[in-house]
Structure formats: structure tokens, C-alpha cells
Amino acid sequence: MNNRKISMIKGAVETTAAWILANNKYLVNSSYQGIIDSINDSVQRVKELTEQNWEMNYSSTAGYTVIFFPEDNYHGTIEILVDPCVSKDYELQYI
């Protein structure tokens, strides 16, 4: 894995944490720094999984998912996806 590179959008953790803090209707007593720490823990978990197996890996919680996508044998991307369904503006509908 020495030659493999993993990239992530600069500021993604902080941007995600700010959105979750402002919009997640399920949060109770969470701080901005606490959310950042949680996301960083998930990023680290995904990196560790990826070091063991260079394939799509993810770590998910209520509110966001950290996911690794290999682009080829030497490059991959970690993305943080927020779940809009936890927003105050969304309501779940059973189908």
C-alpha cells in the first residue's frame, strides 16, 4: 500500500459537522467539536479498513456515511455523505 494515495475534499469534515449541527433534528447535547471528532473517527476507521482491503469501504451513523471509493489500484477517494432525512426539513414516508 506504500504507493497508494487516498484523497478527501479539504474542509469536508468541518462542513459536514456544521450542517449536522444546524440541521439534524435528532441531535441531543452535541457540540461542533464532538461531531468533528466523531466524523474523524469514522474517517480513520475507513482508512484502516482500506489498508486491509483496497475496495469500497464505509462507516455509517445516523446522519452521515464516510465511504471510500477506489479509483484504480493506486488512487482512491474518501467522501462524506450526509443523510438529508435527518434534517428538520425532511419527513420520512413509508412506501
- Residue 28 is given by DSSP the state -
Q: What is the mean pLDDT of the chain?
A: 89
- Contact 75/64 with Cβ under 8 angstroms? no
From 77, 65, 56, 70, select the one nearest 8 (Cα to Cα): 77
What is the domain partition of the chain in residue ranges? 5-86
CATH fold of 5-86, please? YaeB-like fold (3.30.2310)
Using a 10 angstrom Cβ sphere, with 0-12 exposed, 13-18 middle and 19 or more buried, the burial of residue 65 is middle
Evaluate if residue 30 carries a pLDDT over 60: yes
Q: What is the mean pLDDT of residues 59-77?
A: 93
User: What global pTM score does this model have?
Assistant: 0.86
- Contact 68/56 with Cβ under 8 angstroms? yes
Taken as a whole, the chain contains a residue count of 95
